[in-house]
Amino acid sequence: MMPSNPLRNLPSIHDLLENPTIKNLTDRINRNAAVSAVRTVLDEVRHEVQTAAADRTLPSVTDLAERIARRITEGQPCSLRSTSNATGILLDNGLGRVPLADEALLEMAAVARDYASVDLDLATNRPLLRNAAIEGLLQEITGAEAALVVNNNAGATLLALAALAAGREVIVARGQLIEMGEGYRLPNMIAASGAVLREVGTTNKCQAEDYTQAIGSATAALMSVHVGSLSVAGAESASLESLVEIGRQHKIPVIHNIGAGAMVDLCTFGLPGQPVAGESVQSGADLVLLCGDKFVGGPQSGILLGRRALLEKIERHPLARALRVDKLTLAGLAATLRLYRDPEKARYRIPLLQLLGTSTENLKNRAERIAPQVAALPVVAEATAIAEAADSAESDLARQLPTWCVSIRPATMSVEKLAVALRTGTPSVVGRVKDDRLLLDLRTVFPRQDIDLLAALESLDKQEGRKTPLTEEGI
Ligand SMILES: *Cc1c(COP(=O)(O)O)cnc(C)c1O
């Protein structure tokens, strides 16, 4: 006789919700949360039974109810958590790009807690464009005639092209048609704006004549994109100055998308060749697009700088309303930009610039101080301070900066398992795995977080200790 399927005997969702242990809780919490907890636990049990090697008996209804009750009281774990970035990658997309300055946090908290004059001029009690709060600052810092802030750089690109080039052509060098991951492909963004992409040049070379030859009655704009680490080796493209020259001759606006452009020259931080927003404006680009996070160090946003006539046209487009920023972004970006009025202050107050400006000496001292403490933990077989920069493709910028890491060889688990345990632990730490070591790269760790690196590893020891109570004796 076929063995009957034990899963048939699982109680129904309805029955479980009526179970006194759970019913007690559901009287106090959102019913959907209870239903969802019941479903999740039932799914888990089904999976456990189906994948069990040997016959597995079903848990009793009491056990099930208790498990569900625990799930309900613990709540959903939130997948969005703060963490220490010990990857060495300064603008890590997965880790939200940049931490914000205290000044930005305070402003954001202030306007968040109360009502705020987002679209109202308090002096006249008349409507005010919310952009006004930020335009003045951007004019001061970059010398641009006009400025606008939207949701992000993808939004800035979409909006600019929709307003200036829909139904007409935008000329872009073939080698600059980048894909950034996270669903960003420039050709798709151009298509979504309604503009027609006119590719010129080859994947690795594009000269001024390539643009000139492509210009015709359908041309609405020339766009140059700073591709940075995404460029192919040996690629060459026409200078912004030559594009500006061509644009002037043909009366066609030149859009310069500088992506991770900065507000100050990053040369002094050891990062030559990074575009600076003000320089791009001074070079004569009619419209400059950049990210407000990345090297500016503000909240996620897209900044448009340029000629007033163009910005006015852009502001009137319906997409401007769809992509506008909220009061939190506005307040956080304004507070960040205010720090740039004094470049020295920006250097010390903007977290990203703090990380960039940390001396190698400082990183070395900290790595050498942390390593022996880490080495003393039972979960660790060996820990040393080493000078080694990240070498993955995304971390091209990080590679240019010297750094120091704490290199850890675990004693009781694989290096992959250690990396997972640190990421998901409390406090959470994201490092990078290199061969059989876990590297904690201090370039992206704030000195105040050094203690978290240790605490994270110590908490693993405690967990390990629970399973093998060997670690107590030294106390
Ligand atoms: C980062 C970047 C983008 C995407 O910017 P978001 O603000 O994430 O939308 C687009 N283009 C370039 C050149 C970039 O560097």
Tens digit of each residue's pLDDT (9 = 90 or more) over 94-107: 999 999 999 999 99
**Ligand 1 atom index nearest CA of 293:** 7
**Ligand 1 atom index nearest CA of 257:** 13
Strands 302-306 and 287-291: antiparallel
CA of 346 to the centre of ligand 1 (A): 22
CA of 292 to the centre of ligand 1 (A): 10
Question: Among residues of the chain, what percentage have pLDDT more than 70?
Answer: 94
CA of 259 to the centre of ligand 1 (A): 5
**Averaged pLDDT for residues 125-130:** 92
pTM of the model: 0.89
CA of 186 to the centre of ligand 1 (A): 9
CA of 161 to the centre of ligand 1 (A): 15
Res. 218: pLDDT tops 70: yes
CA of 201 to the centre of ligand 1 (A): 22
**Averaged pLDDT for residues 165-176:** 97
Strands 437-441 and 405-410: antiparallel
**Averaged pLDDT for residues 361-382:** 97
User: From atom 2 of ligand 1, which residue's Cα is the shortest distance away?
Assistant: 259
Q: 279-310: per-residue pLDDT in tens?
A: 999 999 999 999 999 999 999 999 999 999 99
The predicted structure's pLDDT at residue 397: 63
Give ligand 1 pocket residues (Cβ under 6 A): 152-154, 180, 184, 225-226, 257, 259-260, 291, 302
Res. 354: pLDDT tops 80: yes
CA 79 – CA 61 distance, rounded (Å): 30
The predicted structure's pLDDT at residue 182: 77
The predicted structure's pLDDT at residue 232: 78
Q: 404-437: per-residue pLDDT in tens?
A: 999 999 998 999 999 999 999 999 999 999 999 9
**Ligand 1 atom index nearest CA of 225:** 13
Res. 163: pLDDT tops 70: yes
- pLDDT range class, residue 388, cuts 50, 70, 90: confident
- Of the candidates 221, 206, 213, 219, the residue with the CA atom closest to the CA atom of residue 286: 221
Q: What is the mean pLDDT of the chain?
A: 92
**Ligand 1 atom index nearest CA of 301:** 7
The predicted structure's pLDDT at residue 4: 67
**Ligand 1 atom index nearest CA of 260:** 15
The predicted structure's pLDDT at residue 3: 59
Contact assessment for residue 410 and residue 381, using Cβ atoms and an 8 Å cutoff: yes
227 phi/psi in degrees, rounded to 5: -90, -15
CA 301 – CA 291 distance, rounded (Å): 6
**Ligand 1 atom index nearest CA of 227:** 13
Res. 380: pLDDT tops 50: yes
- Of the candidates 97, 100, 82, the residue with the CA atom closest to the CA atom of residue 429: 82
The predicted structure's pLDDT at residue 474: 32
CA of 156 to the centre of ligand 1 (A): 9
User: From atom 11 of ligand 1, which residue's Cα is the shortest distance away?
Assistant: 259
The predicted structure's pLDDT at residue 231: 78
Question: Among residues of the chain, what percentage have pLDDT more than 90?
Answer: 75
Q: 18-74: per-residue pLDDT in tens?
A: 999 888 888 888 888 889 999 999 999 998 888 877 777 888 889 999 999 988 888
The predicted structure's pLDDT at residue 426: 93
**Ligand 1 atom index nearest CA of 182:** 8
Angle between the 153-165 and 308-316 helix axes, to the nearest 10 degrees? 100
CA of 119 to the centre of ligand 1 (A): 27
Res. 194: pLDDT tops 50: yes
- pLDDT range class, residue 2, cuts 50, 70, 90: low
User: From atom 13 of ligand 1, which residue's Cα is the shortest distance away?
Assistant: 259
Question: Could you tell which of 256, 291, 294 is best to mutate to test the pocket of ligand 1, judged by most ligand atoms within 8 Å of the CB?
Answer: 291
The predicted structure's pLDDT at residue 396: 54
Angle between the 327-339 and 102-113 helix axes, to the nearest 10 degrees? 150
- pLDDT range class, residue 467, cuts 50, 70, 90: very low
CA of 154 to the centre of ligand 1 (A): 6
